[in-house]
Amino acid sequence: MMLFAACMLATGGCGTGNEAPDGQTDISGSPSDALRFTRVTQEAGLGAFRHVTGAFGEMWFPETMGGGAGFLDYDGDGWQDIVLVAGGVWPDRGDAGLPALRLYRNEGGHFTEVTEETGLAGLRAYGMGLAIADYDNDGDPDIFLTAVGRNLLLRNDREAGPGGRVVFTETGQAAGLSDDAAWSTAAIFFDADQDGYVDLYVGNYVEWSPEKDMWCTINGEDKTYCTPKLYEGVPGRFYRNEGGAFSDRTAEAGFLPAPGKTLGVTEWDFNEDGWSDLVVANDTQRDMLYMNDGSGGFVEQGVASGIAYDEEGQARAGMGVDAGILDHTGAPSVVIGHFANEPAGLYRQISPGLFLDRAAQSQVGLPSLPTLTFGLCLFDADLDGDMDIFLANGHISPDVEGTAEGLFYRQEPQLFLNAGDGHFSEYEYPISEPIIARAAALADYDRDGDEDILITENAGPVHLLRNEAQGGAFLRVRLQGVHGNRDALGAHVTAVTGDRRMQRRVRTGSSYLASSDKALTFGLGEAVQVDTLVVRWPGGETARYANLLAGSEVHIVEGSDVAEIVVLGNQPRP
C-alpha cells in the first residue's frame, strides 16, 4: 500500500555534511565580557571522521537517526577522550569493514585515533547511541552501545599502572544485556536501588526490519522516510546490575506497560527523597516520568505530572531531553526537544510531581518553533552562574524544503542564554552555516575550566567547539564514590557563593544518543571562591567543603574530609 507523508513527523535525517574551515565567532550581547566559541575540529585531529548511514537508495527508516558521541577518560590520564558512533552498513551493502565505534585519545587538546590498538576496529553493529559508566566498579569507564539489533557492552580492560594498555572487550551477552534484539536508542546508567552498582535503562524505538520498512512519499512519486506514527513502538528495558552482571527486571520494576518510541532519557531527584527518578522522551507518544519508590521500583506519573502531552493534550515528537535548575526558585525544570513546528518543551516543577510548561514565558518556545531539535544540553556557557540551553537541530528529509515555507533540511543549532530568572535570549550560534545535527555532548576537553561542545551530523562530519568564555570564574568538581557506585552517579552537589545557590547532579544520559563528561562545572561570575560546597552522596551521606578558590578543579573521594585541588590550564598532558 502507498502511504503519503504530507507532514513528516519522524525523527532523524540523512545527507552528506561538509564542514567549513575552522574559525572563530563571537556571540555578541553576552552579559559576560565575551562569549566566544572556536571551531577546532580540524586542528584537534577529528577532521577525517564521517558518519555513515548505509543508505543505498531504499530510504530505510534507521538511516534518518544519526549517530551518538561521548566523552570519557578511557586511559585514566585526566584528559577527556572522544568516542564516536561510526554508523553502519546494511548486510551485503557497502564496506562491511566499518567499525561500529571510533575512539580518539586526547593528547593535551589534540586527538589521535586509537580504534585499532584498543580492540575496537573489529566491532560491527549498526550503532545508535552511547551510555558510559564504570559498571563493574573497577576504576575505568565502560561503554554501552545501542544499535539496530543486538546492543553491545564494551568492558574497559586497562592494565594496572601508569600508561597501562587498554583493550575493550565485548561482554554484552555474557553480562545479560542481549536478551532480545531490538532497535535501541537512548540509554542511561544510574543506581536505581543504591546498592553501589549502576543499573541500566535502555530506550527502544519502533518495530522495524528491512522487510517491514514502509513506502511513503511527499510528492506522490518518490519514496521518502516515513513518520514513526506508522510503526509500532517497542517498550524500553530495565536491567538491574547484580555485581557486574545484569538481569532484566523491566516488568517488576514498573517500566511496563510503555509505548516505546523513546529517543531521550534523563535523571533527576524530583521529590528530593534521595532516589533517582527518570524522564523518558518519546517520539509521537506521551513522555513519561518514572518516580523511584525508594526500593528501586518505579511509578509512572507522566500524565499526572503534566509533562506527557502539550497544552492541547497531544503527544509531541520528543527527542533530546535534559533536566536542571534554571531559575532562583530552586525547582528543577525538564527541557525536551521536538519536531519542526513544535516548540521545545520547558517544564518547571511547581510542586512535587507537578510541572508547568513555561516554554512560551521563558522565551524559548517561539524561536525553537521552526527547528527540529535532537541534541539538547543544559550548561553554563558563559560561566555567569545560571544554566543556558543548547539545541542541536537538523531535519530528517532532504525533501522537506519543498513542502512548507520556512522548513529547512540543514538547520542552525541554537544557544539560549539565561538572564538568571529563567528567561532566555537567543544568541548567534558559533557555527556560521546550518548543519544536520544529531548528538550533542559536553566536556572540558582542553582543561581550561569551561565546557566545550561536540556535535555529530547525520552522514557527515563531527564538530568540536572550543568554549573560550572570558566573563566568568569557575569551579569544577569531580567525585569518586566508595560506598556507592564509583562514578558517584546520583550525587547531588550544591555550590554556595554569597547569596547564590547552584545545584548540579552527577549523571549519565541526557541529550540525544550522547554521553557527556561526569565532572560538574559551576560558573561563578565575579566571585573568587565557592564559600561552601555540599555533596550529598547516593545513600544520603552529606559532606561539606569550605572556601574553594575559583579557577580550579576539585577531586573529592567519598568519605574524605579534604578536597584535592587540581590546577587547570591548557598545559601539556603528563
- Give the whole-angstrom CA distance, residue 226 versus residue 283: 13
- What's the pLDDT score for residue 402? 65
The residues near 269 (Cβ < 8 Å, ≥ 6 apart) are: 275, 276, 277, 490, 492, 505
- How far is CA 309 from each of CA 136, 186, 297, 306, rounded to the nearest angstrom? 38, 20, 24, 7
Q: Give the number of residues written for the chain.
A: 574
Do 370 and 456 form a contact (C-beta atoms < 8 A)? no
Burial 60-81 (b: 16+ CB within 10 A, else e): bbbbbbbbbbbbbbbbebebbb
Distance CA 554, CA 531 (A): 14
Kindly report, residue by residue over 56-80, the tens digit of the pLDDT: 999 999 999 999 999 999 999 999 9
Q: Give dist(CA 554, CA 30) in Å, integer.
A: 28
pLDDT at residue 162, rounded to an integer: 64
pLDDT, residue 432, reads 62
User: Which regions of the chain are under pLDDT 70?
Assistant: 1-34, 94-96, 160-163, 179, 402-404, 429-432, 471, 569-574
